[in-house]
Amino acid sequence: MHRNKKAAFFLLLPIGILMILLVFYPILVTFYNSLHEMNLIRLSEMRFVGWDNYVNVLKDRGFQDAIVNTLVILIAVTGITLTASMLEALMLQRDHKISKVLTAIAIIPWALPPMVNGIIWRFVFYPGYGLINKILYNLKWIDAPVLWASDRWTTLLIAAIIVAWRIVPFCAIVLLSNLQSIDQELYEAARVDGANKWEIFRSVTLPLLLPSMGIVMTNITIAGFNAFDELVALMGYREMGQTIMMYNYTQTFSFLNFGLGSAISYIIMLGSGVFAYFYIRQLGRSQR
């Protein structure tokens, strides 16, 4: 037993050291920095300011906008992803001759770099004669190109579509594996009882999908919350429509104001802590 403990210690030593050096220690330092006025260009002038950075962030209009933007993206991503991944899972579940091909295609968007996804969709929603405008124009629905992503709300909606496009495959595959584990006899029984397709879906399939809903929802939340690459590809580092991650980046690295940046990070971290709690609980449950 004693030897075993020694073995465990050495096996866990590398990851332990790395985690302490590059995750846990930096987190503590970030908190320390967040209580200071601190500019990377004038490091010697660091001084303690208490909660000032936090107050300034919370009062900042840009921050409030960024929070709203992130929540809008989060809600839109949730709606699009849940609907689309459910449809995709049901489609993949049916035994088509081309099911294998469909699965192969379905997984592609998930595998691509988010930055590339952003670029691809930027061409689709290009405000001149991009793909969508060409289609609408050829259908004679519009006379002149629509200026996509030029105001705050359409930008957010397009960002949500791009993020959803990336995570739908994952969610669909999780839902699919859950669907396949449902006992066929339950469907039989419901059919014998005279239930129609919709009733079966609502009262048999949906409730039995609840276990995987936790995983699906946490993934949606993490992806929506962290939206960054896609937005940079879509619109660059402009202020309108920026998410809290982009706000955090521009405030920290454009102005090299590390005290303020650290405070923003901490506010975001506390906010996401709520989600984190449910996420860990979910994983703990799946362990059993």
Rank residues 135 and 206 by Cβ distance to other proteins and give the closer one. Answer: 135
What is d(CA 250, CA 62) in angstroms, rounded to the nearest whole number? 11
- Span interacting with other proteins, options 46-54, 63-71, 200-208, 253-261, rule CB under 8 A: 253-261
Asked if 225 and 279 touch (Cβ cutoff 8 Å), the reply is: no
Residue 268, phi then psi, degrees to nearest 5:
-60, -40
The DSSP bridge partners found for residue 39 are 42, 257
What is d(CA 248, CA 232) in angstroms, rounded to the nearest whole number? 13
Using CB under 8 A, which residues numbered 66 to 105 contact other proteins? 87-88, 91, 94, 96, 98, 102-105
Q: Is 280 in the site for other proteins (CB under 8 A)?
A: yes
Q: 214: which 2 tokens?
A: 């936790």
Rank residues 65 and 229 by Cβ distance to other proteins and give the closer one. Answer: 229
Query: Least separation, in Å, of the C-beta of 244 and other proteins?
Result: 9
Using CB under 8 A, which residues numbered 127 to 156 contact other proteins? 128-131, 134, 137-138
Asked if 37 and 46 touch (Cβ cutoff 8 Å), the reply is: yes
Q: Which of residues 53, 69, 70, 265 is near other proteins by CB under 8 A? A: 265
Can you list the alpha helix ranges (DSSP code H) found in 112-257? 114-124, 131-138, 152-180, 184-192, 197-200, 206-225, 229-235, 244-249
Residue type, 168: V
Q: Is 12 in the site for other proteins (CB under 8 A)?
A: yes
Rank residues 15 and 192 by Cβ distance to other proteins and give the closer one. Answer: 15
Q: Which of residues 54, 63, 148, 258 is near other proteins by CB under 8 A? A: 258
Q: Is 119 in the site for other proteins (CB under 8 A)?
A: yes
Q: Which of residues 116, 146, 195, 200 is near other proteins by CB under 8 A? A: 116
Using CB under 8 A, which residues numbered 18 to 47 contact other proteins? 18-19, 22-23, 25-27, 29-30, 33, 40
Asked if 34 and 266 touch (Cβ cutoff 8 Å), the reply is: yes
What is d(CA 227, CA 215) in angstroms, rounded to the nearest whole number? 18
Residues in the chain: 288
Using CB under 8 A, which residues numbered 163 to 222 contact other proteins? 165, 170, 173-174, 177, 215, 219, 222
Task: Work out whether strand 42-48 and strand 36-39 pair parallel, antiparallel, or are unpaired.
Answer: antiparallel
Q: Is 269 in the site for other proteins (CB under 8 A)?
A: yes
